[in-house]
Amino acid sequence: MMKHDFSQLPVTSGERTVKGLISWHSLGKRLAMGKKCTAVREAMVPVHVIELDTSLFEAVALIAKHDCVLVKDEANKTCGVMTSYDVSETFVELGEPFLLLGEIENLIRDMLEGCFSKEDLEKGRDPLDGARPISKVSDLNFGGYCSNSAGPCVMGKD
């Protein structure tokens, strides 16, 4: 496990039969309790198995509860272990574009703040959202900075 930087490994008997899981956590827990640990079975714990097509949300909940899950494919063969590290990598991959867009929008708001009158800002409001008061740039959504119902404009100019 140390040589290949694995935090846990499935214990199997063939491709389809899972016996359990051994991890640094299970091994350390046993050793901390002063128990003998000379064979894998002595530090093995139950493993939670999911299917390859299990929803990411369901998998995340199980990983949060059990540290990791074992993944099996359509042929019931073990095809991987999914850990909190994998979840964080997936979150970055899926969430980073949205976080970056949010940062860009906040920077644009900061640049525009104080540059326009209340009347100019109200012209940028979505016409379908006429009831909400607009008094500062952050009261508008991104589309409100760029256009109005008459088409593209620069704030304050029709």
Reported as a single tens digit per residue, the pLDDT across 16-39 is 888 999 998 899 999 999 998 889
pLDDT of residue 152 exceeding 50, the answer is no
CATH architecture observed for domain 8-88: Roll (3.10)
Give the C-alpha separation, 62 to 35, whole Å: 28
Q: What share of the chain is helix, strand, coil (3-state, %, to 5)?
A: 45, 20, 35
Task: With a cut of 50, say whether residue 151 has pLDDT above it.
Answer: no
| Residue 102 to residue 108: CA distance in whole angstroms | 10
pLDDT at 136: 84
Checking if the pLDDT of 45 tops 60, the result is yes
Six-digit token string for 147: 């256009």
Question: Given a cut of 60, is residue 84 above it in pLDDT?
Answer: yes
Stretch among 45-49, 51-55, 57-61, 135-139 having the lowest mean pLDDT: 135-139
Residue 154 has pLDDT above 50, yes or no: no
Q: Model's pTM, two decimal places?
A: 0.58
Average pLDDT in the chain: 83
The torsion angles phi and psi of 50, rounded to 5 degrees, stand at -125, 160
Q: Are 134 and 125 in contact (CB under 8 A)?
A: yes
What are the extents of the domains in the chain? 8-88, 89-152
Is pLDDT of 142 > 90? no
Angle made by CA atoms 35, 39, 40, in degrees to the nearest 5? 100
pLDDT(146) > 60:
no
Residue 48 pLDDT: 92
- 32: amino acid identity, one letter: A
For residue 133, give both structure tokens: 């008061």
Q: Say how far apart CA 152 and CA 131 lie, in whole Å.
A: 22
Count of other CB atoms within 10 angstroms of residue 63: 19
